[in-house]
């Protein structure tokens, strides 16, 4: 067998092994999700370590969300963070069937008709009343967020939000009396974005996001947007298409490289 053929087979075997390993570890199919909106970005430019539009995010199934999912509140207690903020990023199925990639801010539960926040032990940046829960000075933009929980009385679940949605929420979501924004998916923010839902229960959690492949998901998005199969709601972060072009050019050069000639000379 020619040496070049052996190299090709070895590369294919490595790629297949990696794909199988990721799928087994993720324990879900598909084990990857293409991010189609800017709701988790921390700016309008592509940033490393943050979930950006066009990134491909790996998903790991969580059999026990109650013990395996870290919210912003519990993550701040344990100093655990992912993608630039405290807590995990989860993938959950909204009531309209869409899969949302957002961060759980806290887990809401009820005790004798009063709202409770999992992980709360008197922190001065968390205010809990019978009507709302207020988290002060959180996220990359250091904003406060209010969630009117009285509308969900008796319903337990995660209160979620996109990092960018909270950090860039406009005045229509601002509550002057509290100095906070109502930008959670389960409040005004979710209503304006079109996927307003009650708190996310454990059965809706598809998995936890871990790792990512930058830019490559833009190929799928550009095709679906061009064909009109999917609505383009947000701009692609600046720099992303340029980085993707560099990758495509590098792959093209590698594919056209005369490996046979080089190997024969050696």
At 201-251, the pLDDT tens digits run 999 999 999 999 999 999 999 888 887 767 777 788 988 889 888 988 888
d(CA 75, CA 38): 23
- Mean pLDDT within 182-191: 84
For 15-46, give one letter per residue: b (16+ CB within 10 A) or e.
eeeeeeeeeeebebeebbbbbbbbbbbbbbeb
At 79-134, the pLDDT tens digits run 999 999 999 999 999 888 888 999 999 999 999 999 999 999 999 999 999 999 99
Specify the pLDDT at position 231: 73
d(CA 127, CA 111): 16
pLDDT for 256 beyond 60: yes
Q: For residue 162, name the pLDDT band (cuts at 50, 70, 90).
A: very high
Specify the pLDDT at position 128: 98
Specify the pLDDT at position 53: 93
Structure tokens, 4:
């070049």
Specify the pLDDT at position 98: 85
d(CA 260, CA 266): 10
pLDDT for 12 beyond 70: no
Specify the pLDDT at position 214: 94
197 vs 189 pLDDT, higher one: 197
Specify the pLDDT at position 6: 65
């Amino acid at each position: 067998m020619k040496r070049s053929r052996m190299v090709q087979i070895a590369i294919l075997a490595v790629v297949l092994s990696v794909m199988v390993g990721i799928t087994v570890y993720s324990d879900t199919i598909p084990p990857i999700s293409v991010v189609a909106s800017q709701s988790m970005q921390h700016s309008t430019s592509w940033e490393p370590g943050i979930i950006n539009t066009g990134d491909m995010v790996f998903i790991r199934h969580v059999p026990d969300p109650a013990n395996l999912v870290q919210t912003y509140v519990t993550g701040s207690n344990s100093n655990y963070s992912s993608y630039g903020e405290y807590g995990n990023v989860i993938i959950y199925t909204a009531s309209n069937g869409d899969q949302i990639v957002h961060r759980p801010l806290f887990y809401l539960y009820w005790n004798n008709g009063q709202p409770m926040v999992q992980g709360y032990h008197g922190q001065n940046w968390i205010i809990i009343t019978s009507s709302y829960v207020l988290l002060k000075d959180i996220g990359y933009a250091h904003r406060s967020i209010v969630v009117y929980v009285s509308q969900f009385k008796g319903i337990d679940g995660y209160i979620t939000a996109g990092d960018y949605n909270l950090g860039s929420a406009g005045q229509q979501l601002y509550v002057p009396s509290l100095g906070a924004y109502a930008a959670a998916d389960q409040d005004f923010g979710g209503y304006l974005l079109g996927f307003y839902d009650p708190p996310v229960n454990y059965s809706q959690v598809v998995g936890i996001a871990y790792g990512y492949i930058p830019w490559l998901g833009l190929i799928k998005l550009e095709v679906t947007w061009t064909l009109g199969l999917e609505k383009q709601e947000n701009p692609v972060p600046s720099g992303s298409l340029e980085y993707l072009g560099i990758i495509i050019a590098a792959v093209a050069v590698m594919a056209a490289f005369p490996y046979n000639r080089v190997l024969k000379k050696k």
